[in-house]
Amino acid sequence: MKKYLMAGAALLVLSACATQPEPELMPEPEPVVEVQPQIIEPEPIPEAQPLPPVVEPFVDPNLPIPGSEDDFAFQSGGEPRVFFGYDQFNLSPEAQDVLRRQANWLNIYQDATATIEGHADERGTREYNLALGARRADSVKAFLVSQGVAPNRLRTISYGKERPIDPRANEAGWSRNRNGHTNLRLGGIG
Amino acid sequence: MTTLKRIFLFLVGLCFALLLGSTASAQLEIDITKGNLDPTPIAVPDFIADSSAERDFGKKIAEVIRADLERSGLFRSLDPASFLETQTNIDYKPAFADWRVIKADALVSGRIRQESPSRILVEFRLWDIFAGEQLKGVRFATTPENWRRTAHKASDAIYEALTGETGYFDTRIVFIDERGPKINKQKRLAIMDQDGENPIYLLGGSDLVLTPRFSPSSQTITYMSYENDRPQVYLLDIETGRRELLGDFPGMTFAPQFSPNGDRLIMSMERRGNSDIYVMDLKSRSTQRLTTDPAIDVSGSFSPDGRKVVFNSDRGNSPQLYVMDADGKNVKRISFGKGRYSAPVWSPRGDKIAFVRSGGGKFGIGVMDVDGKNERILTNSYLDESPTWSPNGRVIIFSRAKQDRAGTTEIWSVDLTGQNLRKVETPGMASDPAWSPLLP
């Protein structure tokens, strides 16, 4: 298992606070609760007292473990996917935001690699959708590279309409299925 | 490792023998270029036999022939219970008056004889009831296991004699068998007879497999597989089970189709997100690039003379159909109707192109002349796609997906005229059909 990556990641943890992201389809946006940093004046250390032992930084047990796949998804806004318009492969401002955060994360955890999967909804024919999925995957990769992620850490693959994540045969389902999925792989290449 | 099965059964010792002769002055002629709203009534009694084992064959063979002809939409198979005459010897003329009474236009009188444990003799005469003439006489010698294919060959001979067109009953359909829920479907390469019988898996189910196509000249299939998480085009010889990755390209290769004589493969290749059309010579394995546009260029399909290619491109901002020379020159757009066009396939007769047109939330199968004229939409549903032609260019089968959460997919069939829309029996959910050439 390569779920835990030890790194100085506490700063990422403090950037937001929420409950565990749901792995289910269509997670509701979690309310963001701002946690005010509490400044506590330290007591003066009495003379001749030994220093307290070094304490591990406090980690909110409700937050994903820094450097984990869950953490990556959490930093991406719940799931590591960006969504596209019908027959589109350009990145919306929201998608670019998500990808900037993904790039930040990837720039911290340099051991991680990813396969960018391009997906299409079922409202297109199979071969055309394979080509469309390839364009979407490439859009995502190009953006991450523009944010400093080394291209050799990112592989692309198109699944066309073959791997839907939402079974609904309506706009709600189709819009979920038009996505670029940054499928993370921890622990480096190979 | 995928297990491959040797599945092709050779038709041992099959021989055509037109021994019974045929007359030229046929009066019964069916025009299959028109929509046939009035199918020709045909009587196919159980084939005459002596022993009960032979009678069993005779019954099954006649049933297959009746079903083939009925499914074509051009014939109406008369109920054997209505027959007045029971022939005991096919070498005598039938009592034409008895067949006229029940309004049969044609009669197939057949005989089956088992000559040895490994050899059966199947023969029939096709009669024009009004003219009182024999149109065709055929005898097949084959193994008992081959009775079904023999029946299909008989259907082809009957179809040919009555329509003047080559038949398509002794053919197979390769397709993608689909199992499981919509968000986690298992898709497997499979093959079955044209009537849905004898379905067999051609590959193990571990890898996603899509878009199979038959070689027009051999028992070889090309398809796309995600084996090793790399979407690439493969060849599969279904006689030997030999499977081969076609080249080692950096990007995805997909949408393969054979050239008309089977010596080349046209496919799309993706580099850095951009898909273009290439042709690979299967002997030398050299590739030639046909399109260089930064738009999507996909679904290339050769004309039967090998000189032109129809393909799908969104270079005009929406997916449309284009025709170019086989070397990539002289690109011309041919689709100008409302909506978006994709998945073109050139008819084996050369005169038509089948395609998918979508618009207004619906997808339908259509046909047009090769210059884009005379467009006709044949079907319309939530999602009709993946058209493929019967080898005689008269029937199109295609995938139909239902608008449901199960992702139900089926294979349907429609005549070139838009008539005779019917579901093709499949073992489970099924998509991406591709018709074989007429078997040798």
For residue A44, what pLDDT band results from cuts at 50, 70 and 90?
low
- Compare CB distances from A137 to B183, B211, B273 and report the shortest one's residue: B273
- Chain A residue at shortest CA distance from B225: A159
* A156 interaction partners in chain B (CB closer than 8 Å): 273
* A90 interaction partners in chain B (CB closer than 8 Å): none
- Residue B268 to residue A157, Cβ atoms within 8 A: no
- Residue B296 to residue A128, Cβ atoms within 8 A: yes
- Residue A138 to residue B273, Cβ atoms within 8 A: yes
pLDDT of A32 above 90: no
| Chain B interface disruption, residue of A125, A146, A165, A177, most B CBs within 10 A | A125
Gap between the Cα atoms of B301 and B299, Å rounded: 6
- In this structure, the number of other CB atoms found within 10 A of the CB of residue B82 comes to 11
pLDDT at A6: 40
pLDDT at A16: 41
| Inter-residue contact A52 to A110 (CB < 8 Å) | no
Q: Are strands B40-43 and B232-237 parallel, antiparallel or unpaired?
A: unpaired
* B407 interaction partners in chain A (CB closer than 8 Å): 122, 164, 167
| Chain A interface disruption, residue of B278, B365, B405, B429, most A CBs within 10 A | B405
pLDDT of A18 above 50: no
* A123 interaction partners in chain B (CB closer than 8 Å): 358, 383
Cα of A57 vs its chain's centroid, Å: 23
- Residue B383 to residue A123, Cβ atoms within 8 A: yes
pLDDT (average), residues A51-75: 81
* A139 interaction partners in chain B (CB closer than 8 Å): 273
pLDDT at A129: 98
pLDDT at B2: 29
For residue A35, what pLDDT band results from cuts at 50, 70 and 90?
low
CA-based end-to-end distance of chain B? 31
Residue B183 distance to chain A (closest CA, Å)? 5
- Compare CB distances from A131 to B183, B229, B268 and report the shortest one's residue: B268
For residue A187, what pLDDT band results from cuts at 50, 70 and 90?
confident
pLDDT of A65 above 60: yes
| Inter-residue contact B190 to B99 (CB < 8 Å) | no
pLDDT at B342: 98
Helix, strand, coil shares of chain A, percent, nearest 5, are: 30, 15, 55
Q: Are strands B40-43 and B75-77 parallel, antiparallel or unpaired?
A: parallel
State pTM to two decimals.
0.85
* A127 interaction partners in chain B (CB closer than 8 Å): 211, 254-255, 268, 298-299, 312, 342-343
The reply to whether B175 touches chain A by the CB within 8 Å rule is no
Q: Are strands B376-377 and B383-389 parallel, antiparallel or unpaired?
A: unpaired
- Chain B residue at shortest CA distance from A117: B229
The reply to whether B363 touches chain A by the CB within 8 Å rule is yes
pLDDT at A59: 66
- Compare CB distances from B211 to A127, A135, A138 and report the shortest one's residue: A127
The better pLDDT of the pair A25, B362 is held by: B362
| Tens-place pLDDT, residues A113-170 | 999 999 999 999 999 999 999 999 999 999 999 999 999 999 999 999 999 999 999 9
| Chain A interface disruption, residue of B296, B362, B381, B402, most A CBs within 10 A | B296
pLDDT at B253: 98
CA distances to B18, B26, B31, B104, B140 from B164, rounded to whole Å, are 17, 11, 8, 20, 21
pLDDT at B15: 35
- Compare CB distances from B254 to A123, A130, A164 and report the shortest one's residue: A130
* B343 interaction partners in chain A (CB closer than 8 Å): 125-128
The reply to whether B245 touches chain A by the CB within 8 Å rule is no
Q: Report residues of chain B scoring pLDDT below 50.
A: 1-26
- Chain A residue at shortest CA distance from B224: A127
| Inter-residue contact A124 to A161 (CB < 8 Å) | yes
- Residue A162 to residue B185, Cβ atoms within 8 A: yes
CA distances to B42, B76, B124, B282 from B25, rounded to whole Å, are 19, 23, 19, 46
ipTM of this complex prediction, to 2 decimal places: 0.91
Secondary element (H or E) of residue A137: helix A126-146
Q: Going along A22-178, which residue ranges are E strands?
A: 81-83, 113-119, 154-160
- Residue B210 to residue A138, Cβ atoms within 8 A: no
Q: Rounded mean pLDDT of chain A?
A: 82
Residue B316 distance to chain A (closest CA, Å)? 14
In terms of Cα–Cα distance, which of B259, B387, B128 is closest to A125? B387
The 3-class SS string of chain B reads CCCCCCCCCCCCCCCCECCCCCCCCCCCCCCCCCCCCCCEEEECCCCECCCHHHHHHHHHHHHHHHHHHHHCCCEEECCHHHCCCCCCCCCCCCCHHHHHHCCCCEEEEEEEEEEECCEEEEEEEEEECCCCEEEEEEEEEECHHHHHHHHHHHHHHHHHHHHCCCCCCCCEEEEEEEECCHHHCEEEEEEEECCCCCCEECCCCCCCEEEEEECCCCCEEEEEECHHHCCEEEEEECCCCCEEECCCCCCCEEEEEECCCCCEEEEEEEECCEEEEEEEECCCCCEEECCCCCCCEEEEEECCCCCEEEEEECCCCCCEEEEEECCCCCCEECCCCCCEEEEEEECCCCCEEEEEEEECCEEEEEEEECCCCCCEECCCECEEEEEEECCCCCEEEEEEECCCCCCCEEEEEEECCCCCCEEECCCCEEEEEEECCCCC
pLDDT of A4 above 50: no
* A164 interaction partners in chain B (CB closer than 8 Å): 182-183, 407
- Residue A126 to residue B407, Cβ atoms within 8 A: no
- Chain A residue at shortest CA distance from B409: A122
